[in-house]
């Protein structure tokens, strides 16, 4: 197979991308349009959610009354178009394309891209009528990137998007007359807290991490529906329902051996893809921790605080003088543009092959970096480039202490929190003194650090290394057959982590917050 012709391969293809307003999907869309302007069309599925178009109040208020995506109104399409232009093409990510096309940029984008109002949580992705028939006839490749990535998401939401979403995407793809490939983006951390070498193995239906039998996705859906109905029938406030649904997801995940709702529901999504695909060619792409772009379309593009970035930012702000983790644990990182390149190269290799292949795309096996290394880099970076707080003052960071014993950490923080609470509830004649304000701020920091440790505990003590046998074979084969590595590099060996953090990643996340 000629891997020097990847751009030619993309020409005249019609591709559906779900989760189009997400971080990875935007980079994927930009890459395809930049390297192959002769792609036939990109259908971008965008959830018709008014929270994504809050500036259009009238449309929002009308659309909020639509509880199911049975029939999309003109208003919904207006909302989707606005979301598309502001949350996708309005990003700095597309500046290279804007410069290339100049005044023709919007015309080019309108010709190549069709923003579709829909939701993977529904059958037929919530698309109806003529548009559905047209897409069934047009689409060659489906790339499912839609997901909710919150570790502690409500169970009903996570199950709908991360588990039932892939089911609906598979069924949609099987109805496409000219379908050649389905790519499902998952996460390497569906492995939970496994140790040792973690293989690129697909999940069997009902398989659990702790050997507990009885995992049945239909039963999980019924449990969610029954719980919600019971809570609403009892007039439980929405805030309490949200908490109960988050707790339910956490309980179900831990019952079957997963550390949180996110990876549990993503694992079940993989199970459904494998079970329902039939003869459909399928790739399951499992990235590790996706971070800012390494090279394309320019170094350091990122959105918000992603995964470990929350820890980096809190450290820079001086909140993490004491943290918990195993300094020897490997943090498996992969820049977003490298992951996108792996998707496109794998797409070329697997077109029309009626099999399921899993690719784990990361760096822990061939170019690892430890938590201790990252801690040292953070200290050096924020010492040299100190954070400026809201008051305009420089934040001086300390090297701090990383506790490898979670129990000791929890005891220390519990005692600190107890002490602060005791002081705050004592009668104080000074009123709202600066001391009390300082104490409240300290308590707020304690809660933030405790929350961060709780969420990331499975990963800062992680003892697994992700095998990337299939990914490495793909890279070797592609290189032997003419891969243009300037355009489609996904080899983590080329990354100098210290240079990447100092000159690309950390400056980008700091700038992103201002």
Active site residue 355: no
- The count of other CB atoms within 10 Å of the CB of residue 141 is 21
Are residues 161 and 224 in contact, defined by beta-carbon separation less than 8 angstroms? no
Separation CA 398–CA 379 (nearest Å):
7
Are residues 30 and 97 in contact, defined by beta-carbon separation less than 8 angstroms? yes
Separation CA 36–CA 33 (nearest Å):
5
DSSP category for residue 203: P
Burial of 486 (0-12, 13-18, 19+ CB in 10 A): exposed
Helix (H, G, I), strand (E, B) or coil at 355: coil
Strand partners, 117: 46
- The count of other CB atoms within 10 Å of the CB of residue 165 is 27
Separation CA 372–CA 409 (nearest Å):
17
DSSP codes, 425-451: HS--TT-S-HHHHHHHHHHHHHHHHHH
Q: Name residue, tokens 């093409």.
A: 89
Q: What does the block give as tokens for 169?
A: 């995407």
Are residues 112 and 33 in contact, defined by beta-carbon separation less than 8 angstroms? yes
Reference 88, options 47, 143, 141, 140; nearest CA is 47
Reference 55, options 25, 77, 83; nearest CA is 83
- The count of other CB atoms within 10 Å of the CB of residue 351 is 15
- From the list 63, 262, 319, 381, the catalytic residue is 262
Length reported for the chain: 514
DSSP category for residue 298: S
- From the list 13, 31, 266, 365, the catalytic residue is 266
Reference 3, options 448, 475, 423, 503; nearest CA is 475
Separation CA 203–CA 271 (nearest Å):
6
Active site residue 459: no
Contacts of 174 (CB under 8 A, 6+ apart): 276, 277, 278, 280
The catalytic site residues sit at: 262, 266
């Amino acid at each position: 197979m000629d891997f020097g012709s990847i751009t030619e391969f993309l020409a005249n293809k019609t591709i559906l991308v779900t989760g189009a307003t997400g971080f990875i999907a935007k980079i994927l869309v930009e890459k395809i349009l930049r390297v192959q302007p002769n792609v036939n069309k990109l259908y971008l599925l965008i959830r018709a959610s008014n929270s994504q178009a809050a500036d259009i109040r009238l449309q929002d208020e009308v659309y909020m009354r639509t509880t199911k995506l049975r029939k999309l109104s003109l208003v919904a399409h207006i909302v989707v178009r606005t979301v598309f232009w502001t949350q996708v093409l309005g990003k700095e990510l597309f500046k290279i394309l804007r410069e290339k096309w100049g005044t023709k940029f919007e015309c080019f984008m309108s010709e190549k891209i069709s923003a579709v109002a829909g939701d993977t949580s529904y059958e037929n992705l919530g698309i109806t009528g003529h548009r559905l028939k047209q897409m069934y006839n047009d689409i060659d490749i489906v790339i499912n990137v839609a997901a909710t990535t919150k570790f502690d998401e409500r169970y009903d939401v996570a199950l709908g998007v991360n588990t039932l979403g892939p089911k609906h995407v598979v069924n949609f793809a099987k109805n496409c007359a000219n379908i050649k490939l389905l790519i499902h983006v998952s996460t390497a951390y569906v492995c939970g807290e496994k140790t040792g070498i973690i293989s690129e193995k697909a999940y069997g239906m009902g398989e659990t991490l702790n050997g507990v039998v009885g995992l049945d996705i239909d039963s999980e859906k019924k449990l969610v529906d029954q719980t919600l109905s019971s809570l609403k029938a009892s007039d439980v406030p929405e805030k309490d329902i949200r908490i109960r649904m988050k707790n339910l997801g956490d309980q179900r995940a831990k019952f079957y051996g997963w550390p949180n709702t996110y990876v549990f529901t993503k694992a079940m999504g993989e199970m459904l893809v494998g079970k329902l695909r039939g003869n459909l060619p399928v790739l399951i792409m499992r990235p590790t921790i996706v971070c800012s772009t390494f090279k394309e379309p320019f170094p350091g593009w990122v959105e918000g605080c992603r995964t470990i970035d929350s820890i980096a930012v809190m450290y820079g702000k001086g909140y993490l003088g004491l943290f918990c983790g195993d300094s020897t644990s490997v943090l498996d990182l992969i820049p977003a543009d490298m992951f996108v390149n792996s998707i496109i190269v794998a797409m070329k290799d697997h077109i029309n092959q009626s099999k399921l292949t899993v690719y784990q795309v990361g760096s822990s096996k061939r170019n690892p970096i430890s938590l201790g290394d990252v801690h040292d880099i953070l200290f050096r970076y924020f010492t040299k480039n100190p954070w400026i707080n809201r008051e305009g003052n420089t934040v001086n960071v300390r090297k701090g202490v990383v506790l490898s014993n979670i129990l000791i950490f929890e005891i220390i923080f519990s005692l600190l929190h107890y002490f602060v609470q005791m002081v705050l509830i004592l009668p104080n004649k000074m009123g709202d003194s600066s001391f009390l304000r300082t104490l409240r701020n300290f308590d707020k920091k304690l809660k933030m650090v405790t929350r961060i440790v709780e969420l990331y505990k499975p990963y800062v003590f992680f003892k697994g290394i992700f095998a990337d046998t299939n990914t490495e074979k793909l890279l070797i084969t592609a290189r032997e057959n003419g891969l243009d590595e300037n355009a489609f590099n996904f080899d983590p060996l080329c990354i100098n982590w210290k240079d990447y953090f100092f000159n690309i990643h950390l400056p980008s996340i700091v700038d992103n917050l201002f």
